[in-house]
Amino acid sequence: MELKSWAVETLAASTVYLFAFFLTFEALMPVQNLFFADFYSSASLMFLPHGVRVLTAWLLGWRSVIALLPGVFITYAYLGGSNVFLPSRLSGIAISVLAAPLVFEFVARAFCDIRSGAQTEPCWVCVMGAGILAAIVTGVLTNLAFGSPPLDYFAFFIGDVLGLFVLMLVLMLVFRFIRLRGKNA
Phi/psi at 119 (nearest 5 deg)? -130, 160
**What CA–CA distance (Å, rounded) separates 122 from 99?**
21
Q: Average pLDDT, stretch 171-183?
A: 88
**What CA–CA distance (Å, rounded) separates 35 from 39?**
9
- The answer to whether 160 touches 138, Cβ cutoff 8 Å, is yes
Query: What confidence tens digit (pLDDT) does each residue in 63-87 have?
Result: 999 999 999 999 999 999 999 999 9
Strands (DSSP E) contained in the chain are none
Domain edges within the chain: 3-184
Query: In the predicted model, is pLDDT for residue 118 greater than 80?
Result: no
pLDDT score at 183: 81
Query: In the predicted model, is pLDDT for residue 152 greater than 80?
Result: yes
Residue 96's pLDDT band, with cuts at 50, 70 and 90, is: very high
pLDDT score at 4: 84
Write down the pTM of the prediction. Answer: 0.93
Task: Tell me the HSE value of 174 on the side-chain side, using a 13 A CA sphere.
Answer: 6
Query: In the predicted model, is pLDDT for residue 98 greater than 90?
Result: yes
Residue 1's pLDDT band, with cuts at 50, 70 and 90, is: low
pLDDT score at 128: 97
State the burial class of residue 159 (Cβ atoms within 10 Å of its Cβ: 0-12, 13-18, 19+).
Answer: buried
Query: What confidence tens digit (pLDDT) does each residue in 2-52 have?
Result: 888 899 999 999 999 999 999 999 999 999 988 887 777 778 899 999 999
pLDDT score at 156: 93
Residue 151's pLDDT band, with cuts at 50, 70 and 90, is: confident
Query: What confidence tens digit (pLDDT) does each residue in 106-116 have?
Result: 999 999 988 88
State the burial class of residue 84 (Cβ atoms within 10 Å of its Cβ: 0-12, 13-18, 19+).
Answer: middle
